[in-house]
Structure 1
């Protein structure tokens, strides 16, 4: 089972290149914003920042399928899972302007890394929380449950 999230956004004019479409690197920024929002939504972002532990991207595989243009309404749908100590995000970016079309897809692997460059193992409760299979104990106390 994997947790599913959505991250809606609109393409802005300052994100366009000289051909009047979104530069490929900007797609990665959209996906990064979706990941930070996810950690906020599952209730662990404040704790991670306080403890100076960061979700660090260590691998990204992306396929660009369609261009995005100014003011396109979009959504990133993400399936979250874990693989040993890796946090895995399977992103699908869709343009909702006109006919719904997939514009990009990416697989991103992350590790939790401290400011001192120490890699943190994912606890079983944290793995359950990321995967969306946490029980009642997690909704009451996200931090105690996860770390």
Structure 2
């Protein structure tokens, strides 16, 4: 399963060169990940379970500038699940086109909020993550 998040590029997203500043993509990607999670899970229940999510690695490839008033479409999916970590794939297109703006892989762990340590992705937790999984091509 994947979600699509639209974001309109505003003037405050731009740098002195007139395109989206590279650091802003972290915010755009996070917004899309939250939307993905809201559609997949009961976040209130998850947060009250004593578990949390922690990003441990982000790799972004910038492919094309994004400019004021353009709409970008961020497609987010859970692409891989390991023993203690999982990877979300995010692809940003100029809305309505095949023009690739950026793509990213975000590795995260699920942590025990008391110990602040990653928990094993097994049992019911693994089954839930597997239900979300559908890699973007």
Mapped pair 1:30 → 2:28 = yes
Matched-pair contact (CA < 8 Å) for 2:78–2:88 = yes
Mapped pair 1:129 → 2:128 = yes
Q: Give the Å deviation of 1:70.
A: 1.1
**Structure with greater proportional helix content:** 1
Match of residue 64, structure 2, among 66, 84, 92: 66
Matched-pair contact (CA < 8 Å) for 2:58–2:104 = yes
- Change in CA separation of 1:72 and 1:83 when aligned onto 2, cut-off 3 Å: same
For normalisation by structure 1, the TM-score amounts to 0.77
Matched-pair contact (CA < 8 Å) for 1:66–1:102 = yes
Counterpart for residue 139 of structure 1 = none
Q: Give the Å deviation of 1:73.
A: 0.8
Counterpart for residue 10 of structure 1 = 8
**Structure 1 SS opposite 2:69:** coil
Unmatched 5+ residue regions in structure 2?
none
Provide the aligned length of Structure 1 versus Structure 2.
131
Alignment RMSD, CA only? 2.1
Q: Give the Å deviation of 1:52.
A: 4.9
Partners of 1:112 and 1:122 in 2: CA distance? 8
Partners of 2:94 and 2:21 in 1: CA distance? 15
For normalisation by structure 2, the TM-score amounts to 0.82
Correspondence list, 1:79-90, <5 A: 79-81=77-79, 82-90=81-89
Partners of 2:21 and 2:92 in 1: CA distance? 14
Counterpart for residue 111 of structure 2 = 113
